[in-house]
Homo-oligomer: A and B are copies of this chain.
Amino acid sequence: MSTGTGTPDPTRRSERSRQAILQATRELVSEVGYAKLSIEGIAARAGVGKQTIYRWWRSKGAVVFDAFLTLSQGAEGIALPDTGDIEADLRTVLRATVAEFADPAFEGPIRALTLEISADPELAAQYQEKLAAPVEEAKRERLRAAQRAGQVAADADLDLALELLYAPLFQRWLFRSGPLTPEYADALVEHTLRALRPD
C-alpha cells in the first residue's frame, strides 16, 4: 500500500543507473568544473533520464556529494600511525594531507564538495556523519594515546586540538592565501603540540 508521500521505493531502484550517474558526475566535475556541471549533462552522459536523478536526489549538490562520498567510503576502522612519537606521527599525517591538497586532481572535486557542504546544512550533517566522523575519531584516538604517554596534557580539548592542526591548512587551501609546504605542516604540528604540552 502506498504511503501517498511520493517517496520512491528504494527496493526498485536500478543500481545500474545509480552507478552510471555517480560515475558521470565524477567525470564531469573533473572535466568542466562544478560551476558548469548540470543535471542535464549528467543524465546525458550517464544515459539516464533526468527524472531518475530527480527521483533519488534533492539537488545537484546532493548528487555531487554522493558521487564523492561513495568514492571514499569503506574507510572504516582507519587508524593513524603510532610509533610512540606523537610529533613525528602527526608530521607524517599532516604532510600527507598537505600533499593531498596540492594534488590538482583533487582540486575540482574537493572544492565542489566544500561549496556544497557550506551551502547546505543537511549535506553538511551527512558529510560529518559519514565521512568526517570516522577520520576524526582516528585522529582523536592517536591523541588520546599521546595523552596516556604523557606527551599531551591529560585535560586537553582534543576537538580543539584537531582544529588547530587542520583549520589553518584548510583555510590556506580554500583561499589560496599561502603556500602549502611540508615545512608548513611541521610548523602546525609543532605549535599545536606546544599548546597542548602538559605543564
Binding site for B on A (CB under 8 A): 35, 111, 114-115, 117-119, 121, 124, 128, 157, 159-160, 163-164, 166-168, 170-172, 174-178, 187-188, 191-192, 194-197
Partner of A167, one of B124, B167, B196: B167
Q: Report the bound CA distance from A116 to B121 in whole Å.
A: 19
A-B contacts, 18 listed (Cβ < 8 Å): A114-B118, A115-B115, A115-B119, A118-B174, A121-B176, A124-B176, A124-B177, A159-B178, A163-B167, A163-B172, A164-B164, A164-B168, A164-B192, A164-B195, A166-B171, A167-B167, A191-B196, A195-B195
Chain B min CB distance to A170 (Å)? 6
Asked if B195 and A157 sit within 8 Å, CB to CB, the answer is no
Neighbouring B residues of A194 by C-beta, 8 Å: 194-195, 197
